[in-house]
Amino acid sequence: MNKEKMRKIMLEYQYRRDRHQDLLDERVGEIYKKYPNIKSISEEIRKMGLKMTKLVISGASEEDISNISRQQNELINRKNELFIENNIPLDYLELKYECENCKDTGFLENGKRCNCLRQRMLNDSYVMSNLEEILSMDNFENFNLDLFSDKVTEEITVSPRENMKTIFMDTQNYIFNFDKKEGSKKDNLLFSGDPGLGKTFLCSCIAKDLLDKGYTVIYQTAFNLMEVIERYKFKTETFSYLDEENYNNLFTCDLLIIDDLGTEMVNSFTASELFNIINSRLNARKKIIISTNLGLSEIRNSYTDRIVSRIVGNFQMYQFYGSDLRFK
Ligand SMILES: [Zn+2]
């Protein structure tokens, strides 16, 4: 990552902290105006704090110091009571953070990059994946099982709704247990079925929830993925460090989501590269979700037996069926 880009990201973090400070100032103003007694008690508490500092500096006796400290605690308790009496959340006048882990600094106490910063750096590399746009629309709150038919027909013993319910519950479990690495089919999911049955929607819901939990997620259509690989491998004249970063991220992120496998142009090069990514991630126990309109035999035709056997052996497979939801 180059310095200029890092500087811009750090500025963003600065704005984020400033914005939350402004919001806090607003809340303080609002409460103090509405509840003058809270204002005066807050000022008392602050004065006590100053007094205590002075006493400590001037080498006052422990008794004097603990005396002030006790008075201050009494005031704090009284203040909390006032909050409760007036139905104000106790943390209402505390500074909020978008990321509690790093307090919006981007770095943890041990000096390491916080996950939010790692993801922010990924997002910057992945502007073309439109992750943010997708995430603003798709999330589990908008998930509606009623859109799926509850009819059972001769071909299917489980209704589309029932089927979707199972898939939904399993993905919730997947998110909940994301930290666990089973080294089994539970680690990786394959969503297969016709277009318009909610596969992409579900993928982005999973991405959103895991991002919120602080994991690094890369969401790419197979088409974009191939572009990332080609730019890295063929090093055209516009090749930059970004291309290298994009490529490396495919291997290192916590979750790689490949959407719409089968829509891209496949040749022996792309097929072997896809195998390389899937295989490396599986060996490193890094998780993958694939969505595809193809069935396994079609994947075998487009790609290779090697890929199919890795998928069969390591992915939990889900079949989506029903009628196209895109117009509902
Ligand atoms: Zn953070």
Q: What string of DSSP letters covers 72-104?
A: HHHHHHHHHHHHHHTT--TTTTS---S-TTTTT
CA 24, CA 36: separation in Å to the nearest integer? 17
What's residue 327's pLDDT?
Answer: 60
The pLDDT of residue 295 is 86
Instruction: Kindly give the distance from the C-alpha atom of residue 96 to the centroid of ligand 1, in angstroms, as a whole number.
Output: 13
Please tell me the predicted confidence (pLDDT) of residue 245. Answer: 81
Ligand 1 center from residue 143 Cα (angstroms): 28
How far, CA to CA in Å, does 236 sit from each of 96, 221, 227, 230, 244?
Answer: 45, 22, 12, 9, 12
Number of other residues whose CB lies within 10 A of the CB of residue 295: 13
Give residue 250's identity as a one-letter amino acid code. Answer: L
Cβ-in-10-Å burial (0-12, 13-18, 19+) of 136 comes to exposed
* 46 contacts: CB under 8 Å, gap ≥ 6: none
Rounded to the nearest angstrom, the distance between the alpha carbon of 316 and the centre of ligand 1 is 32
Distance CA 225, CA 45 (A): 57
How far, in Å, from the CA of 246 to the mean position of ligand 1? 21
pLDDT at 296: 83
Q: What are the pLDDT tens digits along the chain (328 aa)?
A: 567 778 888 999 999 999 999 999 999 999 999 999 999 999 999 999 898 888 888 888 888 888 989 999 999 999 999 999 999 999 999 999 989 889 999 999 998 888 888 888 876 655 444 466 666 666 677 777 888 888 887 777 888 899 999 999 999 999 999 998 877 888 999 999 988 888 888 888 898 888 878 788 888 888 888 888 888 888 877 777 778 888 888 998 899 999 889 877 778 888 889 999 999 999 999 999 999 998 888 888 888 888 899 999 999 999 998 877 766 5
Give the residue from 48, 118, 57 showing the smallest Cα distance to 77.
48
What three-state secondary structure class fits 257?
Answer: strand
Query: What is the distance in A from the centroid of ligand 1 to the CA of 269?
Result: 38
Rounded to whole angstroms, the Cα distance separating 107 from 116 reads: 9
- Cα 180 to ligand 1 centroid, rounded to whole Å: 22
Q: Distance, CA 101 to ligand 1 centroid (Å)?
A: 5
Rounded to the nearest angstrom, the distance between the alpha carbon of 277 and the centre of ligand 1 is 28
Per-residue confidence (pLDDT) for residue 127, from 0 to 100:
47
Cα of 214 from ligand 1 centre, angstroms: 8
- What kind of fold does domain 130-320 have according to CATH? Rossmann fold (3.40.50)
Give residue 230 CA to ligand 1 midpoint distance, Å.
32
What contacts 281, CB < 8 A, 6 or more positions away? Answer: 251, 256, 287, 288
Q: Are 286 and 254 in contact (CB under 8 A)?
A: yes
Q: What separation in Å is there between the alpha carbon of 103 and the centre of ligand 1?
A: 6
For residue 203, the number of C-alpha atoms closer than 13 Å in the C-beta half-sphere is 31
* Start-end of H helices in the chain: 3-34, 36-57, 62-85, 115-125, 131-137, 160-176, 199-212, 222-234, 241-252, 268-283, 296-302, 305-314
- b/e string for 228-244 if b means 16 or more Cβ within 10 A? bbbbbeeeeeeeeebbe
**Contact in structure between 71 and 48 (CB atoms under 8 Å):** yes
Q: Are 226 and 275 in contact (CB under 8 A)?
A: no
Give long-range contacts, CB 8 A cutoff, 24+ apart: 238-243.
241/1, 241/2, 242/125
Distance from Cα 102 to the centre of ligand 1, integer Å: 4
Contacts of 15 (CB under 8 A, 6+ apart): none
Count how many Cα atoms sit within 13 Å of the Cα of residue 276 in the half-sphere of its side chain: 14
Tell me, in angstroms, the distance from the centre of ligand 1 to residue 98's CA: 8
pLDDT at 128: 40
Question: Which residue intervals of the chain bear CATH 3.40.50.300?
Answer: 130-320
pTM for the structure as a whole = 0.67
How remote is the CA of residue 104 from the centroid of ligand 1, in Å? 6
C-alpha torsion sign, points 304, 308, 309, 314: positive
Q: How far is the CA of 190 from the centre of ligand 1 (A)?
A: 30
Note the pLDDT of residue 112.
Answer: 86
Q: How many angstroms separate the alpha carbon of residue 174 from the centre of ligand 1? A: 23
Distance in Å, CA 110 to ligand 1 centroid:
13
Distance 108 CA to ligand 1 centre (A): 7
| Centroid of ligand 1 to alpha carbon of 229 (angstroms) | 29
Note the pLDDT of residue 17: 93
Distance 13 CA to ligand 1 centre (A): 10
